[in-house]
Structure 1
Amino acid sequence: MSRPLRVATYNLKGLHLDEDAAREVVRELAPDVLGVTEPPRGLTGRWRLRAFARAVGLRVVVGGGGARTTALLVRPEARVEQGRARRLPVRPGRVRRGFCTAVVDGVTVAVVHLGLDAVERKAHLARVLTPVPPGTSVLVGDLNEQPGRPAWTTLGGVLRDAAEVAAHASGAPPEPTYPATDPRWRIDVVFVGPDVEVLAARVPAGPAVERASDHRPLVVDLRVPEPGAAHGRMGA
């Protein structure tokens, strides 16, 4: 038995541009799971993220603290286990980064926001993949690099690029996500494990999308095993 699951990834630019437009975009996406990169931070960051989640019909399961530039939001009725904010090592002068993991209705989900330095991306991605087992797993986020580069190659060795799978089925190329006003680069991703079926993928457009952030979101429709069926479990 399997069931549908809608997953999206969205770089919210700290909600600094047009928060009302960002809310409109996410409501239209209607995701079951939303991986957020660049959530609001600072003294009021957690409060603003919770308020945003409520406004779009979701709840925050991981955000703030060690999650740093990532957060994980899910629909209110979802069953969440092992939600964790995981810190990543930082070198002087670099942005402090982390990532989120959780098991959402039996699906292992990770949210990642890799940095601008290629060496750092490689080191961080190795740590990110450790708690993401093959099987019923989904990794979303902002890789800060384009297809064919090392992070994509590493991920492609253990997971599948959902947008590429959908593009192969439809005959249309995967859509770029950055920048929002005239996207040319595909840096926001959804990767899935072998037990996950990809049904469709799209990158929304329109005035609200262009106002809300400097990225466009990526939304992917999946089919996943029912909770309790065999799936990869998250490690410590």
Structure 2
Amino acid sequence: MTADEHPALRVMTYNVHGLRDPGVADVVRACRPDVLALQEPPRGVGGRARLLRFAGRTGMRLVVGGGGARTTALLVVAHRRVTDARAVRLPWRPGLTRRGASTALVDGVRVVVVHLGLRADERLRHVGRLGARVLRDATRADELVVVLGDLNERPGSPSWSALLDAAALVDAAAEAGVDDPTYPADEPRVRIDAVLVDPLLPVVGALVPADDPVARASDHRPLVVDLRLPEPPQG
């Protein structure tokens, strides 16, 4: 991505590790996303208040966070139109982290934020639930879909592939020729963070920021993708 490009929609996925480091806000401001998908936002007592303060520091608004969204949140800049913003609860079994997803229509694009678990069987269960409850409905409604999140798998792994197949999506980073690792942030070795997009949303560019603040702010590096929205119908 170069300075003279003017993307129609910039999306960013970022596991923020509970917002333990205030540098996360600096990273987000530097990237200037229109849509910010968070994983591991602060939870528990005071968690939502911290998330709202973070949104204010980044110049964005919180559209989904807390409650059933659990380990995800969705922030959007003020000038983007948001409708049907909601949390999606995912199945839980004792001994595992309670997980959820965040979704909204942003300028007519169905955005879905996910944070899949550490166990392969749980990841596949949650992808199946999302496919049945969110992605299938979006496909039936002819909505363009973008899935963003920490998948806890490398490209080509079962849950990653199942998400691509659930709504006929493509890996935006791969489309842009980017395969930079995102985890761990200080010495990244694997790419487990993803932006998966409808092929009708052209990928203008992709970037995994790699400056010093990124290496310190969280245990993941973010993935930033620029998309071009379709022209609105004429007449």
TM-score (norm 1): 0.90
Q: Output the CA distance in 2 between the equivalents of 1:206 and 1:194.
A: 30
What per-residue deviation string (whole Å, max 9, x for no partner) do you get for residues 92-129 of structure 1? 10100000110011110000000001001001011122
Indicate yes or no: 2:37 matched with 1:48.
no
4+ aligned runs moved over 6 Å, structure 1: none
Asked if the contact 1:199/1:222 (under 8 Å) is kept, the reply is yes
Alpha-carbon shift at residue 31 of structure 1 (Å): 0.2
- The correspondence for 2:11, drawn from 7, 27, 34, is 7
| Residue identity matched to 1:6 | R
Alpha-carbon shift at residue 194 of structure 1 (Å): 2.2
Match of 1:196 in 2: 201
What per-residue deviation string (whole Å, max 9, x for no partner) do you get for residues 174-206 of structure 1? 111000001111000000012211010010011
Q: Output the CA distance in 2 between the equivalents of 1:41 and 1:182.
A: 27
1:25-64 pair list within 5 angstroms: 25-64=27-66
Asked if the contact 1:162/1:191 (under 8 Å) is kept, the reply is yes
Match of 1:101 in 2: 103
- The correspondence for 1:146, drawn from 154, 160, 163, is 154
Q: Output the CA distance in 1 between the equivalents of 2:224 and 2:128.
A: 25
- The correspondence for 2:174, drawn from 161, 164, 169, is 164
| Residue identity matched to 1:69 | T
Alpha-carbon shift at residue 41 of structure 1 (Å): 0.8
Alpha-carbon shift at residue 147 of structure 1 (Å): 1.4
What per-residue deviation string (whole Å, max 9, x for no partner) do you get for residues 5-36 of structure 1? 000000000011x21x1111000010000000
Match of 1:233 in 2: none
Match of 1:212 in 2: 217
Alpha-carbon shift at residue 48 of structure 1 (Å): 0.6
Q: Output the CA distance in 1 between the equivalents of 2:188 and 2:214.
A: 11
Number of aligned positions between the proteins:
220
> Is the partner of 1:224 in helix, strand or coil?
coil
Match of 1:232 in 2: none
| Residue identity matched to 2:19 | L
Higher relative contact order (CA 8 A, sep 6+): 1
Match of 2:4 in 1: none
TM-score (norm 2): 0.90
| Residue identity matched to 1:75 | V
- The correspondence for 1:76, drawn from 78, 92, 102, is 78
Q: Percent identity?
A: 57
Alpha-carbon shift at residue 155 of structure 1 (Å): 2.2
Q: Which runs of 5+ in 1 are unaligned?
A: 168-172, 230-236
